[in-house]
Amino acid sequence: MPGLEDLYREIILDHYRNPRNRGELESPPAHRVEGFNPLCGDEIVVYLELDEDRRITDIRIGGQGCSISQSSASMMSAAVKGRTVDEVSDLTRAFKAMMSIHESSLGGETAEPVELPEIKLGDLEALRGVVKFPVRIKCATLAWNTLAQGIDEALA
Amino acid sequence: MAMTTPLDIESIRADFPLLARSVHDTPIVYLDSAATSQKPTAVLDAMDTYYRTVNANVHRGVYYIAEQATNELEAAREKVRRFINAPSVSEIIFTKNATESLNLIVQSWGRANLAAGDVVVLSHMEHHANIVPWHMLVAERGIELRWIPLTADGQLDLTDLDSLLEGAKVLSVTAMSNVLGTLNPVRQLTDAARAVGAISIIDGCQSVPHSATDVQALGADFVAFSGHKLCGPTGIGVMWGREELLAAMPPFIGGGEMIRDVRLDGFTCNDLPWKFEAGTPAIAEIIGLGAAVDYLSAVGMDAIRAHELMLTEYTLRTLNDRFGDDITIHGPADPDLRGGVFSFAFKDLHPHDISQILDQHAVCVRAGHHCAKPLMKLMGVGATARASVYLYNTTADIDALAEGLDATGAFFAF
């Protein structure tokens, strides 16, 4: 039986109590995007600034949510600041792979669980235990899905 | 309220097989009946027996089991009629659930009777099922919505009810809030609506399962409720409506059963109630609902209300005494003004996290917006944790909730 220590690692609680990059950015020029957890009760707002090289020059997180969604958003913000959109895309795939979520291949078959060990997840590794509580996976991925949507919209 | 004998809780709990199970090696403490109720063996047996012995399509066959199935279905309809003291079985329409019932009213009665600018009065505490269909009608034909506001302690603020109802065609409100537990003064509301020539629709989802319902005494024109919240199966709901209104309404879903005649150039409708029951009904579920109604009636709705009132007093006292300022239980402080539904804020912890720790202790509560996002926004929260009780809950269940909250606070303390 998975224990709570799997879910609530200290680093998660640290990011929950002291979330990084909280606040807002003037938008425009920053891009503002909202996300809602289908497991209702978490809402997130992501503000992001991209430069001409498609690099995230600044990011802020708003909204309210549970310890998993907030800490994931906080860790995400620290991990993606200064990264290019392509690097963020790799990081997102790696994070979701850790959450056991795999984009299905063009061939259409169910994807084998494939982790991406070459991509360093750093602090985000702490969220690995979420997979033992599948209901909370959506909490962990909320910020990432919202960020991806925001990047798509900003580049459109 | 008349004095009632206390419920024989041990006997009742023995009727509900799921309550005997454990979760994470701990006996389950089920405190989410506002989301769905547990089912007594009588309901499970009734549905199983139906499928094993008389399963056949209804209203269609001459052969013996087809006639039996039809009789059992219509007998269940009569049970529901009696349960809510409706004047006639013609007024008992079976739907999938209360959400479908409310949509039926909006689409059938609403589209036949409401035009651009017509006013529908709702309240800030409504469930999405009593909000979204009206928004759809706003988009479709420009009706106007007005909202009864709430007092600081989560009751309807009726100060300006008369001006809100001025020129209104519809008043549609819940009899009991699924978030705050607030019991609304239904008769006062339906009287006020009738006085201005408006019809009233009552969402009975939380009230019908937990206390005696008399639709005639309520003075409403429509009442909607779901079977799965009153110890019946999922997939079955009821729309009660006054016959005069139902007879004038156009059909909602078209197909078999709801017709008298179909030709290449048109059709004619069947009589009530079948006019609104197209296709093969959820026969087993209807029979299960009938068994649930029988079960609750035998226990006694007044006795159930008295039991929940006792649990409400116990819950408010226990949680407030134990946690003081660390806990805020939303809704009225007076137990007589509320049913057994308790949304709460605990320390600064998010409902997901609260319910996660409680789950480790086998305590089942709900976390989220409870399909009441406008109410959440008004309350200034994104979500609440919610515990709710029913006839099979005990003070020990509330004690387990309190213990679990203690553990939750300790876990996140730093």
| Binary contact (B352, A68; C-beta < 8 A) | yes
Domains of chain B, first to last: 9-37+300-411 (3.90.1150.10), 44-298 (3.40.640.10)
Query: Tokens 């079948």 correspond to what residue?
Result: B274
Residue B136: exposure state from Cβ atoms within 10 A (0-12, 13-18, ≥19): middle
CA-wise closest residue to B351 among A32, A41, A24: A41
Which CB contacts under 8 angstroms, 24+ apart, belong to A83-89?
A: A83/A55, A83/A56, A84/A53, A84/A54, A84/A55, A84/A56, A85/A50, A85/A54, A85/A55, A85/A56, A85/A151, A85/A155, A86/A54, A88/A56, A88/A147, A88/A151, A89/A148
Strand, helix or coil at B106?
helix
Look at the domain A4-155 and name its fold: Sufe protein. Chain: A (3.90.1010)
Task: Retrieve residue A60's tokens.
Answer: 């802020």
Task: Retrieve residue B9's tokens.
Answer: 């809780």
pTM: 0.93
How many inter-chain contacts (A to B, CB under 8 Å) are there? 51
CA-wise closest residue to A68 among A3, A2, A15, A123: A15
Which chain B residues contact residue A8 at CB under 8 A?
A: 411
Return the DSSP state at A82. T
Yes or no: say if B304 and B392 are a contact pair by the CB < 8 Å rule.
no
Using the Cβ of B26 and the Cβ atoms of chain A, whether some distance falls under 8 Å is answered with no
Residue B225, strand partner residues: B238
| CA dist list (Å): B264 to B261, B271, B278, B287, B411 | 10, 21, 19, 35, 69
ipTM over the 0.95 cut-off: no
Report d(CA B257, CA B279) in Å as an integer. 6
Count other Cβ atoms within 10 Å, centred on residue B50. Answer: 22
B371 is catalytic: yes
Report d(CA B207, CA B202) in Å as an integer. 10
N-terminal to C-terminal alpha carbon distance within chain B: 48
Nearest Cβ partner for B350 among A4, A7, A66:
A66
Locate all alpha helices (DSSP H) within chain A, ordered by sequence.
Answer: 4-7, 10-17, 67-80, 85-98, 137-155
B413 contacts: CB under 8 Å, gap ≥ 6: none
Task: Give the pLDDT of chain B (414 residues) as one tens digit per residue.
Answer: 456 788 999 999 999 999 999 999 999 999 999 999 999 999 999 999 999 999 999 998 899 999 999 999 999 999 999 999 999 999 999 999 999 999 999 999 999 999 999 999 999 999 999 999 999 999 999 999 999 999 999 999 999 999 999 999 999 999 999 999 999 999 999 999 999 999 999 999 999 999 999 999 999 999 999 999 999 999 999 999 999 999 999 999 999 999 999 999 999 999 999 999 999 999 999 999 999 999 999 999 999 999 999 999 999 999 999 999 999 999 999 999 999 999 999 999 999 999 999 999 999 999 999 999 999 999 999 899 999 999 999 999 999 999 999 999 998 886
Interface of A with B (CB under 8 A): 1, 4, 7-8, 13, 17, 39-43, 63-70, 133, 136, 139
Report d(CA B284, CA B96) in Å as an integer. 13
CA-wise closest residue to A47 among A67, A22, A64: A22
What phi, psi does B145 have (nearest 5°)? -105, 140
